[in-house]
Structure 1
């Protein structure tokens, strides 16, 4: 169950609407020419702003919302609001200055974002310093399963959660549930967190009934043995509720357009300003050390398990097992120039051609050799889920230490874990953060870059 209101949400959100509408209307009056500004334009942009905000959840910011998520909402609001303004002017105004319009939309969203982030950080500071705007919570479950969440509440007071009591289900589960419910009623507890692993279906339903009847927020911790995220999505077929296993942001057409536009611009920049001069230079070094082509082409699995040719600068001598055996540390097949290319990740740069062609994305799950994909699919649960989105040159797993050779089961299991988390929590800002971290890691050098 999702918390929809905070302590001051009833006041903050209406205030935000009024403030934001005041900003966009005041700036439109001050910045736009008399040809553009009119009462009709003011009404249009006000209605458009609210509709866009409601559709992308611009004001859906909670105490547990990450800054990256807020930034993603801001970028979406800016993009869509700018498009709507241009659409209106294109239809009804013949002579208008497009630069003036973009300056207006950017400044409007910038000021609104500043106020939005100020309120967000002010509340976090207020909770830490004065203990205000907090929600009282209790935990129900075995100590070992709720310990991590208990530690999170204790270590992060700025989120505004005050852990009051923990009820252990290890000895007498029935008594623990009863004590928890009585404690919640008597002490004005706001939220209850339960470990699903420790409760039967009947007990879960009883706690849900108790929470509903007493107007308490109820949330569940999944089995901590199950490391894959559960980003469930609720839809309605008529009046029938249908629960989907996961919600993938990149299934949304707008998100697809944003990511694809970013991929095209970024890959084109690398192809024109880096590969155009770097390729001839590297070709001389690669060919002088070993016979064979400059580029190494390998079949890999991409979106929806479809095979494609993945390009790299050749870093090994020609060998018959290149498509079967993964590169290992001190592999004799690697040339001297190849060792440098792999250590610096320069060998991956030709994959920007794959990105430009639409076969890959700049950021996404790293594609594996076809033979390895088939092997991991049989060996690792949910491995195939990674193929719901395009593979990437870099990814969340790679920036968290799981790149290169798969030396044990942990390497591939955690790689899948991070890939699924990325898929279910994608945002443009997360992509930018991953690209930045990849660049930093490449400069510093990574242990598994060989």
Structure 2
């Protein structure tokens, strides 16, 4: 008697994605671009449908009293949906990496060896309350010849489901099978954990969200993981920093969108500069209603500042709150970053080129800035189009991950009868 083990819905979805990936992998750039343009148009046509479902998620969030930063990430508007669509159109204009010849050489025996870019296959995307990821990740996956299995957070279930249904209605008009985009509706933890171990169907997992989600995937997955990182980002204001540049960058990096991973959570200030420009710093914090958690010196200078604990140096606020650390020199600033940074984005403001160069060499992070805001650590801001995440690891991909990060290589050998 043969024991038949029934496959779960998640495994069946992954199997369908695997089949569809073969079709997507051999499509032309024109065929993939046409599909992305149709998806973009469909999102704009059906934006009201998506907004209705987003309101269901928002209502649940209000009932559960989610924090403002969380609700901001969850909320959709007509403008945001149209922005998703335009992100897809930007991806269309990007160079298709598939088939790119990375190297070509001929061995002494006449064997020709080519190295080319090919799709990864099936991408498993696990993410939290960011409906934009549903669109961005899908667009990048399809353009790079992959299929994708999406597992969004339960807080955005209705929004994500509506977005995927809209994308499916567009895909049926294209050469890309709608099965290439799978969305898991189950909210059971076991369902997510099942994705961790489906090596035969999923080629890579990409977690995008808070530290607990990322750590759960990294620590438990047997499927290879492209690790994205939380963004405990720092801005160091050096003794030789221009005051206007420093304050402008501080305001932008903290207040432009405080709930995103490339906003700064700590400003490190050289004590000499701090003493000289303390009133300007105080006025800036007051003007933008920034809540301050500082060390002893910062608390002695900034009214209403609260003494920072170890948690304040380590965590993402994702709000209009900031930690303020006072240092005597560059070495102390770098030491603080090494202790509490997450290898995401770090910035220095200084007019001293040698100090800046040393900072850029010694700080270990995916993105480093001299006299510029950390808010540029973003695929679209850097010209990659939509991004699938920001990698803080060192293997395969690092920093904002665009199309090339979703590919691997294949060696193609051409001979005329050579044997070894």
Instruction: Report the TM range for the smaller structure's normalisation.
Output: under 0.3
Higher helix proportion = 1
Normalising by the residue count of structure 1, what TM-score does the alignment of the two structures yield?
A: 0.24
Normalising by the residue count of structure 2, what TM-score does the alignment of the two structures yield?
A: 0.25
Higher strand proportion = 2
